[in-house]
Structure 1
């Protein structure tokens, strides 16, 4: 009986992995082939501009991507090693596989479960909390610079402010009040105690790595603006990017549609300085391909090769 159940469990697990990978490839295909804002043929024509710059330019773009992901891998290795020492390759594998697994989940929440299953059951809750620390550190950097970007935008450009959704504000405040009142039942004190048990040095290092990631992917975007001969001063471009990443981070979305949100916000922001819509959509698409699509494809290999521990 046990062997039969174990056999079906393995079949179900294999099917789950296949669904994740096939689903990931399908959504990646939809993004590239059915982008109404940037038809595929138009994208290829724009892409040829980058190709005409030479192999050295392409290598620089890839180096930006490598730096971005190397920093993320080092960050995860440092965090995960608090509970269980892992190698660089294990951190690499977990980061890319979790990216692929989280494609169809809101705000990449599937990343938490995907990373945790690489560890024994007794440590999975802690692993998810460590992943939360990593994500919050990146959000902290995004919000910090985003505030400066918003001040720059408000000071230099006039635009219609969005209407305040009172219902959403009341809902958020209500959730916070409930969390405070029922923190003991929700065992939030345990989460707080766990966070306090981590040394301040680790927090400083994680925030530092998050900052460096932010620097690299921001400047990859600026480098692409330069390649497409966009005439914009460095300070203005940087502040508009601060706004872009901040606004994109506070809008709930499914990871696969992150490109659409960033693309729409980028078009709106760079319209203030007269940048062509097609150029901005091309740049956001290239950024998406280099930093999301290609890593997700690599991650699919790790998803397919993943095996549950024998005890499970």
Structure 2
């Protein structure tokens, strides 16, 4: 099994370099078939998944149609406008972050970053917690840039995970204040809060030590092919990592804004502090549980129902809200990404 994995890794690295001989292992007709199979297969699978989720969310669809009929057109138009603006801010920040990482290293243009992020959502929608996003991003790059792009995608994910951890810990502190003291006592609650702060500080320290990855050594032969790409971490100085972290937190706030907007529309007299704290905890937990092999929307919906249930929220309304946020922020960009995917050259000469 280990040998098979090593061979697969080496094959991927060979296909990702500018070595024409490695690409010529596959005949031109084969490259064309593989390229179009990936494009068509991923796009159809993503669209099928989105449509199936919409059909399965009967309550949410009925709510939308009833809201459109019963709410003034100005209110609906305002909600749609602000939702699109927040989603645009969210993904615009992500495109800016990605461009900030890859342009100095790989000499790419803005268009490459935009295409990569959009197709990343298409690949991500088919994987647990959208961990497949990096595949769509590196396909937007040239074959010789893809290994470096994958490593930089890891850095970008670390920055966003740190932002999620930051707000998630704030959310957990809020939950402990609301329920922990009564359930566990003051001392136990304070100890847990201190541990959470220590977790945040330790994670932040590790995040700012990412440049040390360029000095990694290993005796394994498979690692030799990767090591030459680790130089991309040398460019990760404190200033760049700090900018990524701050932009990631701003992006997280824009995502929370969508929760506020949607839940404010659905729920009468909403508890804004609870919505913000519970949404942050939900996003944090879904990130921690990214290894769970279920789609992102299903995981977030299950976690949301669990957390929001503590505060007596109507779980039907919570389910509708989570679906609407997912549709606006994930499904719509994924549809655009499935179209953009057809502009890619997956192989150098395909």
> For each residue in 1:163-218, what CA deviation from the matched residue of structure 2 results, as whole angstroms up to 9, or x when unmatched?
xxxxxxxxxxxxxxxxxxx9633659878764343222211111111011001110
Does residue 185 (structure 1) correspond to residue 219 (structure 2)? The answer is yes
Q: Give the CA deviation at 1:226.
A: 1.7
Counterparts of 1:61 and 1:50, CA distance in 2 = 16
Check whether the contact 2:304–2:318 (CA below 8 A) recurs between aligned residues. yes
Match of 2:330 among 292, 295, 298: 292
More helix by percentage: 2
Does residue 302 (structure 1) correspond to residue 323 (structure 2)? The answer is no
Q: TM-score, normalised by structure 1?
A: 0.81
Q: Give the CA deviation at 1:239.
A: 1.5
> For each residue in 1:132-175, what CA deviation from the matched residue of structure 2 results, as whole angstroms up to 9, or x when unmatched?
111111110111121121122122126999xxxxxxxxxxxxxx
Check whether the contact 2:120–2:132 (CA below 8 A) recurs between aligned residues. yes
Match of 1:63 among 64, 77, 85: 85
Counterparts of 1:283 and 1:126, CA distance in 2 = 38
Q: Report the aligned-residue RMSD.
A: 3.1
Check whether the contact 2:105–2:232 (CA below 8 A) recurs between aligned residues. no
Counterparts of 1:55 and 1:35, CA distance in 2 = 22
Does residue 155 (structure 1) correspond to residue 212 (structure 2)? The answer is no
Q: Do the aligned partners of residues 259 and 44 (structure 1) sit closer, same or farther apart at CA in structure 2, a change above 3 Å counting?
A: farther
Match of 2:306 in 1: 268
Counterparts of 2:135 and 2:271, CA distance in 1 = 42
Check whether the contact 2:112–2:141 (CA below 8 A) recurs between aligned residues. no
Match of 1:77 among 75, 95, 99: 99
> For each residue in 1:32-51, what CA deviation from the matched residue of structure 2 results, as whole angstroms up to 9, or x when unmatched?
11247x46435543565677
Equivalenced residues, count: 290
Match of 1:225 in 2: 263
Q: Do the aligned partners of residues 193 and 88 (structure 1) sit closer, same or farther apart at CA in structure 2, a change above 3 Å counting?
A: closer
Q: Give the CA deviation at 1:18.
A: 0.7
Match of 1:204 among 228, 242, 260: 242
Match of 2:109 in 1: 87
Counterparts of 1:276 and 1:66, CA distance in 2 = 29
Match of 1:54 among 76, 91, 98: 76
Counterparts of 1:106 and 1:183, CA distance in 2 = 31
- List runs of 5+ in structure 1 lacking aligned partners: 162-181
Give the stretch that moved more between structures: 48-57 or 147-156: 48-57
Q: Do the aligned partners of residues 111 and 242 (structure 1) sit closer, same or farther apart at CA in structure 2, a change above 3 Å counting?
A: closer
Check whether the contact 1:50–1:227 (CA below 8 A) recurs between aligned residues. no
Match of 2:203 in 1: none
- List runs of 5+ in structure 2 lacking aligned partners: 1-23, 185-215
Give the stretch that moved more between structures: 75-84 or 290-299: 75-84
Match of 1:173 in 2: none
Counterparts of 1:310 and 1:236, CA distance in 2 = 51
Q: TM-score, normalised by structure 2?
A: 0.73
Q: Give the CA deviation at 1:107.
A: 3.8
Counterparts of 2:71 and 2:32, CA distance in 1 = 46
Question: Alignment partner of 1:124: what SS?
Answer: helix
